[in-house]
Amino acid sequence: MLFSNYQLEILVNNRPLEECVEPFEAGKSTTGPSYVFNEFTRKRIENNQTVYAAVTEPGVPFKIRYRLPSRVLCKEPVMAFVYVDGQHDNTYSAHTGPSSVQNVRESFYNYAKGKIYNFMFDITLWVDDGSVDQNIEVGGQGAVSVYFYRAMHLRQNVIPADIDFRSAKIPESRADLGLKLSTSFSEKPISVQPMHESLLAPTSLQPLAALHLHYRAASWLIARNLLIPSVNKSIALSEVTSNNSHDTKMNIESAMGKKRKAREHDIHVVKKGNGEQRHNNSDAENVVKVEDDNCKYIIIKTEVDEQGSSGRTK
């Protein structure tokens, strides 16, 4: 998704998932609307669409790629906080200049226990409504979220947070939201020591931007006419044989025509599949893979509020 030059994508096999949109409705979304904050007018500009990423199969790892406009970094540095299904590992990525506008995350970290938790799509575990705490303060179920905050340079020691990550248990009452998939976390040990200091601190409780990209099963999106199948999928879904090739051609042309028409009216969704991901593993202090030497993950104990707040150092 692309909104006011802030970008958020979900990658599988290093390729962005196909996206589609529908008008935003508070009762039908697990998050609030995506928005940017104008620092001059002091007003929020909200996206009037919910953006979905189409997941074709469970059991596959994924990455989260996000980008902010370089003009934002001409003033002061920015901190970016990533949430998956409302979960967060109390770290941020530091964006300090034009060369660090983009970053990729594929895992959460528990530095206190020396563990890494890689992201993976999985089948949702449904439970009775009364057996799970439904209170998610930031982000939401079935979504990846990134919050960007204006920051200043400030070196301070921090204590690693001890957080274990598990698949969300979703109440059956939310089945109408299409939450057939959730995120599971593949646990592995960390062999390097983390940085026990923070180099940035937020200067405002108001995010510069908040992006929410919802992920759903492709079959659910197709059934709701939000996603038009590709050419190959159109043939499979049409259940045609070689004896009615004329019908096959008509199905394909009709599907592609609808897809072009939908994209003409879609001003928020941009797919980018070009470019190779670059990792820097030469510096052990970086701990995790990043796309730029100036963009590192730093441990910080934070609190974030969905209503327009930021990380507050404890």
Q: For the chain, give every domain's residue range.
A: 2-227+279-299
Residue position matching structure tokens 């974030």: 304
- In the prediction, which pLDDT does 294 show? 37
Q: In the numeric block, which tokens belong to residue 8?
A: 């958020």
Q: What is the pLDDT of residue 140?
A: 92
Residue 224: predicted pLDDT: 93
Q: In order along the chain (314 residues), what is the average pLDDT of each group of 10 residues?
A: 97 97 92 96 96 96 97 93 95 92 95 92 83 73 96 90 86 81 93 76 96 96 90 37 36 40 34 35 32 41 40 35
* Residues 124/90, Cβ–Cβ less than 8 Å: no
In the numeric block, which tokens belong to residue 301? Answer: 């104990």
CB atoms within 10 A of CB 116: 21
Look at residue 250 and give its three-state secondary structure: helix
Reading the block at residue 185, the tokens are 């976390």
Determine how β-strand 49-55 pairs with β-strand 209-217: parallel
pTM score of the predicted model: 0.74
Query: Bridge partners of 104?
Result: 65
CA angle 192, 185, 13 (to 5 degrees): 90
